[in-house]
Amino acid sequence: MKTILVPTDFSPAADNAARYALNLARYMHADVKLCSAINEKAKTRITEQLVWPHDDYSSVKETTDQELRILAKRLSLEQSLKNEPASVAVFEPNLTYCCKAGSVMDAVRDLVTDEKITMVVMGLWGATGINSFFAGSVSQDMIDKASFPLLLMPGKAQFTSLRSIAFATDLSEEDIEVIHSLASLAREFNAEILIVHVMDGKHHNKEYQQKVSNFLSGISDKVDYPHIYYRDVKSTDVDKGLSWIVEHRQIQMIAMVHRKHDLLDRIFKESYTKNLAKHTEIPLLVFPYVGSSVVF
């Protein structure tokens, strides 16, 4: 059984990410697992950043387990109260939880290794607030070290059935394998994949057209999914180009591959939450550069 993992610090952003994950899991026929981490070395609980004496570590874990149990019951109750049409067969994900010692990254990496984790869904605050767990070093560390698909959730993003997923590409051949993986997710929703390349209009020449043609031919040969479309956007600024796509198309998710010193690095340097808020609270699905072959 596939499982979606949601690291949580019990903040509103984390709760929102868990709700999104549960809704996504219903379409993907996957279970959901909540995870909270306690920094054992510093005896520091992530949620409150307080220093705990060694003797109190067991009580911290007990408290964290209790909060996880309460959160899981609350989320399960919310799901059960949804009004679904009687004619619609809905898959109900199994919701579990665990508390792990160590850093968030270590906890997530261990669970991904030991269990069938398909995707990690992590909350981020929007422009109105910053949380030390979800913004800054933790989220950046997660992106840099992740060997799994990571879905980053703006604080106020709401789940809607995916109709269109924008995939930002630099036309690298490696992205074709990622699009193959993305197609397995899009297929669950019968959603279109809009391949977007933001480029400087000055370089729109025959050589560029041939590069696009080769890229699309590679997709046709390797990706068996009919709803894939291509759009190039002329802009000297990639952020503005993506913003234009979001504003002019009904996009429910943006996807991209994380490469060192690329767009994603620049977004975080400029404050990720502000940029994502600019992109109308749309979730961002990040694929690792290495090991991006995933079946959702």
Q: What is the pLDDT of residues 70-119, one digit of tens each?
A: 999 999 998 887 766 554 557 889 999 999 988 888 899 999 989 989 99
Could you tell me the pLDDT band of residue 274, with boundaries at 50, 70 and 90? Answer: very low
Task: Using the predicted structure, report yes or no on whether residue 50 has a pLDDT greater than 70.
Answer: no
Same domain as 190, residue 148: no
Instruction: Tell me whether residue 241 is in a domain.
Output: yes
pLDDT at 280 over 60: no
CA distances from 221 to 179, 190, 208, 295 (A): 12, 20, 20, 18
pLDDT at residue 91 in the model: 86
Same structural domain, 41 and 66: yes
Tens digits of per-residue pLDDT, 106-153? 899 999 989 989 999 998 754 444 444 444 456 667 777 778 999 988
Which range of 7-16, 43-52, 131-140, 247-256 scores highest in mean pLDDT? It is 7-16
Select from 130, 153, 176 the last residue of a domain: 153
Domain co-membership, 22 together with 141: yes
Domain tally, the chain? 2
| pLDDT, position 221 | 94
Mean pLDDT of the chain, nearest integer: 79
Return the pLDDT at 188. Answer: 93
Range of the domain at 140: 3-153
Q: What is the DSSP letter of 236?
A: S
The reply to whether 246 and 169 lie within a common domain is yes
Tell whether the model's pLDDT for residue 214 goes beyond 70: yes
The reported pLDDT for the residue numbered 8 is 93
Q: What is the pTM of this model?
A: 0.84
The lowest-confidence range among 50-54, 226-230, 242-246 is: 50-54
**Which residues, including other chains, have CB under 8 Å from residue 195's CB and lie 6 or more apart?**
167, 169, 179, 219, 228, 229, 230, 231
Confidence grade of residue 207 (pLDDT, cut at 50, 70, 90): confident
Q: What is the pLDDT of residue 199?
A: 75
- The torsion angle over the Cα atoms of residues 171, 167, 146 and 93, rounded to 10 degrees, is -150
Helices 104-114 and 137-145 sit at what angle, rounded to 10 degrees?
30
Q: How many CB atoms lie within 10 A of CB 246?
A: 18
pLDDT score recorded for residue 276? 45
pLDDT at 66 over 50: yes
Which tens digits make up the pLDDT trace of 145-184? 778 999 988 877 889 899 999 998 889 888 999 999 999 9
Residue 184 sits in the same domain as residue 120: no
Please count the other Cβ atoms lying within 10 Å of the Cβ belonging to residue 233.
18
Q: Are residues 253 and 180 in the same domain?
A: yes
Residue 293 placed within a domain = no
- In a domain, residue 295? The reply is no
**Same domain, yes or no: 120 and 18:** yes
Tell me the backbone φ, ψ of residue 223, rounded to 5 degrees: -115, 115
In a domain, 292, yes or no: no
Residue 23: pLDDT above 90? Answer: yes
121 and 187 fall within a common domain = no
Are both 145 and 177 inside the same structural domain? no
The predicted structure's pLDDT at residue 265: 54
pLDDT value of position 49: 46
Question: Last residue of a domain, which of 153, 174, 197?
Answer: 153
Query: Can you state the percent helix, strand and coil of the chain, rounding each to 5?
Result: 40, 25, 35
- Identify whether residues 139 and 243 lie together within a single domain: no
Together in a domain, 71 and 108: yes
**At residue 60, does pLDDT exceed 70?**
yes
pLDDT at 223 over 60: yes
Question: In this predicted structure, what is the pLDDT of residue 145?
Answer: 76
- Domain contains 159: no
**Domain ends where: 108, 130, 153?**
153
Establish if 201 belongs to a structural domain.
yes
Is 13 in the same domain as 44? yes
| pLDDT at 103 (0 to 100) | 84
Question: Mean pLDDT across the stretch 200-220?
Answer: 83
CATH of the domain at 248: 3.40.50.620
Residue 93 lies in a domain: yes
